Amino acid sequence: MAITLVAGMPAASQSPFPVDIGGPYALLDQNGQTRTQADPDGKHQLLFFGYANCLNICSAALPLMAQVVDELAADGIEVTPVMITVAPDQDQVDTMGAPLAEIHRDFIGLTGEEDALQVAYDAFKVEVEPLFQDPEYGWIYSHGSFVHLLDGDGELLTLLPPILDVTQATKIARSYITPQS
């Protein structure tokens, strides 16, 4: 079984990235259940580090993820959209589910204690820095901006910049998910 490669990039086993990206973590979802980097149903995942009420990068990345998930679902490809919070003071088990569900009914939000979140940030090479406090929305953070396409085991396949349109992002994701004969 061969995999179609995008722009001459090597397959996931021959990472195009100069550093290892990804790894194990254990965080709580919006239902209080522990989740790891592996999808419990073995689905591919679109993973983003952000926060549910972000008005900047997240407001582009999260809807893009939802649209890509729907486009792939139309082809019978199930992908889970996942967001790991960079604002655990704002995104808690009982507060992040509703805003994420407004973006997509299948969105999984993950949060946890600072040390557990740091494990995920370190694994995916995401730096989080509080910038300033907005009187209406709380802290505004600088954080990673890539959407990570993971396989069902939580292994990184590729990165998608949120500046791609839905068609481009879906085409790239599909090329890593759909085996070509």
The model's pLDDT over 5-43, given as tens digits with 9 standing for 90+, comes to 333 344 444 556 667 899 999 999 999 999 999 999 999
pLDDT confidence band for 159 (50 / 70 / 90): very high
- 1 contacts: CB under 8 Å, gap ≥ 6: 179, 181
pLDDT confidence band for 51 (50 / 70 / 90): confident
CA 97 to chain centre: 15
Higher pLDDT, residue 129 or 75: 75
* Residue 142: predicted pLDDT: 65
DSSP string across 96-165 = SHHHHHHH-TT-EEEE--HHHHHHHHHHTT---EEEEEETTTEEEEE---PEEEE-TTS-EEEEE-TTS-
Residue 52 has pLDDT above 90, yes or no: no
* Residue 73: predicted pLDDT: 96
Residue 161 has pLDDT above 70, yes or no: yes
* Residue 71: predicted pLDDT: 97
* Residue 2: predicted pLDDT: 34
Asked if 103 and 63 touch (Cβ cutoff 8 Å), the reply is: yes
